């Protein structure tokens, strides 16, 4: 049900015009006269009213405001599906009791380093391997990733460690090659509203990790999940990774309150990436702990054996020994909130 607030002293004629418009959309309006404002309650299946139809009403003569009551997403909403979505990736469940940990380098740089990191994080308890073969970089002069070569290394690392792999897609034209290797396909921050890419990953049967856009509201984020789900792919997980605010002391501001809020609004699993969230390796551990305490279903953490030589995001990568320490420290916190890790 939507509500149309009328300007004071709107003539009868304009009101009739608005009611007719509603009827033309298969809806019905009921008028309530208040002391200072008259409002029209809209009855019917308003969930099918698109934003542009709403805007069209907003500009009609006599309309002061249109208030949307229902959420604009459906498949992603907790209301539509009450029970938590659990995503099974090669036997590891994301969204269940166990908190999954996706660790690895920002970018795949070469085979030796990747293998080394993969084994180290596996030994410390990581359950997924992360690594980018196609890298979105703000500068055209930066390392852009190894492409399929990087994917092959990831697959080899999976073979050796058993860790399923998470890797990013940037371009619909890379879909075939990425699908061949990846276990979870990541939509990066800068592509959260790359709608054509969303539709594309909505048509495949791999789980999608959808990172929050730098300045995306929770609503817009869920709408992007809805894009994917509307095409059939229901296995979407949401990854909080920091939003852009006025604060420059950290790379981004990790919005941990999004975790419990999402748990109310949606049935989809929630992942937290503290590495990008803060951008400084020495803040990663406390924020990873905070994420678990706040209710995250999984963590995504950058680990590098030699941050000094990393070709991407060295500043926010943990060394393997610090990652191992973190994994030990997370255990009692996970237990304290009724989870395991």
In the region spanning residues 181 to 210, those forming contacts with a second copy, defined by CB under 8 A, are 190-191, 193-199
Q: Is 310 in the site for a second copy (CB under 8 A)?
A: yes
- Least separation, in Å, of the C-beta of 226 and a second copy? 6
Answer for which of 19, 243, 298, 303 binds a second copy (CB under 8 A) is: 243
Interface with a second copy includes 232 (CB under 8 A)?
no
For 205, what's the count of Cα atoms within 13 Å in the CB-facing half-sphere?
A: 1
Min dist CB 206 to a second copy, Å, is 19
Closest residue by Cα to residue 275 from 95, 108, 103, 120:
103
Q: How far is the CB of 297 from a second copy (least distance, A)?
A: 13
26, 47, 321, 340: which one binds a second copy (CB under 8 A)? 47
Binding mask 48-67 for a second copy (x = CB under 8 A): x-xxx--xxxxxx----x-x
Question: Could you tell me the sign of the dihedral formed by the alpha carbons of 49, 51, 54, 60, in that order?
Answer: negative
Q: Tell me how long the chain is.
A: 341
Minimal distance in Å, beta carbon 76 to a second copy?
11
Burial status of residue 203 (CB atoms within 10 A of its CB: 0-12, 13-18, 19 or more): exposed
Q: What are phi and psi of 152, to 5 degrees?
A: -65, -40
User: Quick one: CA dihedral 147, 149, 154, 158, positive or negative?
Assistant: positive
Q: Which of residues 245-304 bind a second copy (CB under 8 A)?
A: 245-250, 253-257, 259-261, 264, 277-278, 280-283, 286-287, 289-295
Quote the radius of gyration of the chain (alpha carbons, Å).
23
Considering only residues 126 through 145, tell me which ones interact with a second copy, judged by CB under 8 A. Answer: 136-144
Give yes or no for a contact between 87 and 234, defined as CB atoms under 8 angstroms apart. no
Contact between residue 211 and residue 186 where contact means Cβ atoms under 8 Å apart: yes
Closer CB to a second copy, residue 88 or residue 245? 245
Partnered with residue 130 across adjacent β-strands are 166
User: Is 88 or 257 the residue whose CB approaches a second copy more closely?
Assistant: 257
List the 38-43 sheet strands across, edge first.
Answer: 28-33, 38-43, 2-6, 63-67
Among 171, 180, 232, 321, binds a second copy (CB under 8 A): 171
171 or 340: whose CB is closer to a second copy?
A: 171
Count CA within 13 A, CB hemisphere, residue 103.
33
CB of 218 to a second copy, least distance (A): 5
CB nearer to a second copy: give 90 or 328.
328
- Contact between 18 and 63 under an 8 Å Cβ cutoff? The reply is yes
* Binding-site member from 37, 98, 111, 325 for a second copy (CB under 8 A): 37
* Alpha-carbon span 119 to 113, nearest angstrom: 10
| Nearer of residues 164 and 188 to a second copy, judged by Cβ | 188
Count Cβ atoms within 10 A of the Cβ of residue 210 and give its class: 0-12 exposed, 13-18 middle, 19 or more buried. buried
Closest CA to 201 of 226, 219, 221, 218: 226
Q: What span, in angstroms and rounded, lies between the C-alpha atoms of 251 and 246?
A: 10
Q: Min. distance of Cβ 58 from a second copy in angstroms? A: 5
Check if the beta carbon of residue 83 is closer than 8 Å to that of residue 90. no
Residue 151 touches a second copy, criterion: CB under 8 A: no
**Please, which of residues 67-106 interact with a second copy by CB under 8 A?**
67, 69-70, 72, 79
Q: Which one among 16, 23, 45, 321 touches a second copy, defined by CB under 8 A?
A: 45
Binder of a second copy out of 148, 162, 172, 305 (CB under 8 A) = 172
Residues in contact with a second copy, counted by CB under 8 A, come to a total of: 118
């Amino acid at each position: 049900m939507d509500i149309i607030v009328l300007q004071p002293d709107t003539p009868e004629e304009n009101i009739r015009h608005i009611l007719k418009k509603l009827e033309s959309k298969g809806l019905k309006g009921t008028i309530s006269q208040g002391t200072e404002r008259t409002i029209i309650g809209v009855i019917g299946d308003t969930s099918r009213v698109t934003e542009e139809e709403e805007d069209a009403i907003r500009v009609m003569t006599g309309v002061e405001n249109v208030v949307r009551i229902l959420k604009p997403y459906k498949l992603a909403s907790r209301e539509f599906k009450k029970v938590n979505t659990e995503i099974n990736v090669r036997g590891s469940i994301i969204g269940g009791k166990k908190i999954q940990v996706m660790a690895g380098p920002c970018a795949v740089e070469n085979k030796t380093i990747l293998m080394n990191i993969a084994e180290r994080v596996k030994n410390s308890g990581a359950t997924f391997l992360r690594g980018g073969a196609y890298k979105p970089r703000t500068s055209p002069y930066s390392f852009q990733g190894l492409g399929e070569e990087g994917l092959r290394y990831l697959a080899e690392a999976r073979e050796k460690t058993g860790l399923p792999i998470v890797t990013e897609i940037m371009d619909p034209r890379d879909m075939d090659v990425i699908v061949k290797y990846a276990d979870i396909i990541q939509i990066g921050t800068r592509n959260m509203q790359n709608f054509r890419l969303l539709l594309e990953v909505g048509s495949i049967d791999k789980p999608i990790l959808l990172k929050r856009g730098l300045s995306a509201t929770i609503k817009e984020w869920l709408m992007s999940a809805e894009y994917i789900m509307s095409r059939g792919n229901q296995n979407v997980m949401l990854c909080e990774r920091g939003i852009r605010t006025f604060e420059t002391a950290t790379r981004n501001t990790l919005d941990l309150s999004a975790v419990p809020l999402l748990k109310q609004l949606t049935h989809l699993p929630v992942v937290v990436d503290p590495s990008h969230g803060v951008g400084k390796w020495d803040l990663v551990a406390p924020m990873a702990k905070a994420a678990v305490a706040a209710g995250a279903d999984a963590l995504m953490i950058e680990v590098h054996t030699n941050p000094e030589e990393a070709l991407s995001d060295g500043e926010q990568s943990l060394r393997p020994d610090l990652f191992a320490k973190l994994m030990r420290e997370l255990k009692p916190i996970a237990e304290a909130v009724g989870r395991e890790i």
